[in-house]
Structure 1
Amino acid sequence: MNYSITLHVNGEDHKLNVRAADTLLYTLHEKLGLTGAKPGCLNGDCGACTVNVDGWPMKSCLMLTVEAFGKKVTTIEGLHNTPIQKAFVENFAFQCGYCTPGFIMNCHALLEQHPDADDQTIREWLESNICRCTSYFEIERAVKSVLKRK
């Protein structure tokens, strides 16, 4: 069954026809050409596909597109020069870069939801994403550097 919906992504409305089974990740890639959210495990374990939905991190491989109707979806393409993006560069918080958009989206939500996050909160939030290339030390340092700026 197909549904005609309006999806609000990165501040813009998009009228789309989607199948009931289409994941948000599929729709972002195939219908909107937004490829920043990466397909990784496709079962919610790695976090490479993380986007923000109404300000909260969501693994887009697990969310159906129809579930995003009426919500504000932000992808890495919708962030422009945010402090966390700059902090990732300044703190060398990436290597190959495949997981980086998901981490940035997760960390951006963390900073929005917990502007005074302590070390334990930061570690708990970082547990939802996996990086095989770098240590989490640099990523944690990037988050802390943004917290110090506030």
Structure 2
Amino acid sequence: MKRGLVKICSLGRPEDARAARAAGVDLAGLIFAPARRQVTPEVAAAIVAALRDGPGAAPRAVGVFVDEAPDRMNALAERLDLDLVQLSGDEPPETIAALARPAIKTLRLRPGTSPSDARRLAEQYLSAPVPPVALIVEGWVPGAPGGTGHVADWSLAAALAAEYPV
């Protein structure tokens, strides 16, 4: 069985970053979208520094955005030396080509989504001229881009993971 990546999201303090690093996570998410766990660029800089402080491999720092302009995502990624950008809104596949960092795309699958519809959505992004490096399956909550604590449909996630980088 292949091992998936472990991502901890919504880091808000440098001590969270140190705990994530000690736990051996692969990816550490910092929220830049308007949300209760949103971090300022100044706080994000301290979190990224804490992620990278210490021996061995550090978790990759992921900036999480929702329907943000590529120029702003690129500016923050450059300023903070983010490793990846996560698109968690309704961004079209073409957005990824405008980014200076590799991207992860979040798929919010509505209840009742069929495996074939989920595959079609995944392929819409993965067949783009510049595809995301991975997909994340997020639980569906109307009007919320993610981070709600609602569980995704694990059977759909498993079906996608069998074929795609999820």
* TM-score normalized with structure 1 length: 0.24
* TM-score normalized with structure 2 length: 0.22
Greater relative contact order (Cα < 8 A, sep 6+): 1
